[in-house]
Amino acid sequence: MSYFDGRVVAVTGAGAGVGRQLAIQLARQGASLSLIDRDQHALNQTISLIGTQSGAIRMSVVDVSDRDAMHACAAETFDASGSIDAVFNNAGVLYTGDVLDAEFDDFAHVMRVNFWGVVNGSKAFLPFIFRSNEGNIVNVSSAFGLMSAPGYSAYNAAKFAVRGFTESLRQEMLILHPQVKVSCVFPGGIKTSIARTARMAAPIDRQAVIESFEHSIARTEPEKAAQVILRGAKQGRPRILVGTDARIIDALTRISGSGYQRLIPATNRANRS
């Protein structure tokens, strides 16, 4: 019997990418699912790919930044299933742009989805997960929650915030509810459509960013990422590093401290010369 067999698991951002693969693999392991995404068509595609290999599946068309809707979704999932054992707060968006070029609305949008979406999902589902004999909260940060990069200040800010929130929550659960495992996920470049759907500041060459991401940065398949995340969640690991690039970034920041903040600009200047 797999770890998730017979458990009720919620997944945000389940309509594409890693969220979709989490849903598919959880279904294969016998989980009953509450799948959450703002795009109903994408959710329908995920459910079609799952087919009949799962327990019960509940679909919710919800924007994770909508606090009231997330709380309602969690309550409705509990009412329908009788329990909730885990939530994977995976939904996220990308934004590229220097601080001087970025609009305040873009900063706010990234924080609403990437940070507040995680907070909303955690707080909405946590009261029900308390009741599980063995619960999980898995929040997705990024390798850019370990290391900042020029041109990604909004994204970095949100992902560092997810890391801080999750590490604090983990300590609270170790004190108050040790049956609840809390993990923070740090993916490197994953082969998803996130760059194609990203917002970008006006001066950015959109096509160049997409090509750079898809050809040079995104190296890990979503299927592999989901496998790593599920294995880490089962083990209750505090940090789940996804991809060789994430492991390198983790090692670099541990070794160099703030030194990487000089290394990246120097490399960037060298590439331009």
DSSP secondary structure of the chain: --TTTT-EEEEESTTSHHHHHHHHHHHHTT-EEEEEES-HHHHHHHHHHHTTSSS-EEEEE--TT-HHHHHHHHHHHHHHHS---EEEE-----EE--TTT--HHHHHHHIIIIIIHHHHHHHHHHHHHTTSSSEEEEEE--GGGTS--TT-HHHHHHHHHHHHHHHHHHHHHHHH-TTEEEEEEEE--BSSSTTTT-EE-TTS-HHHHHHHIIIII--B-HHHHHHHHHHHHHHT-SEEEESHHHHHHHHHHHHHGGGHHHHHHHHHHHHH-
Annotation marks residue 155 as catalytic? yes
What DSSP assignment string belongs to 217-243? I--B-HHHHHHHHHHHHHHT-SEEEES
Options 3, 95, 152, 155, the catalytic residue = 155
**Which residues belong to the active site?**
155
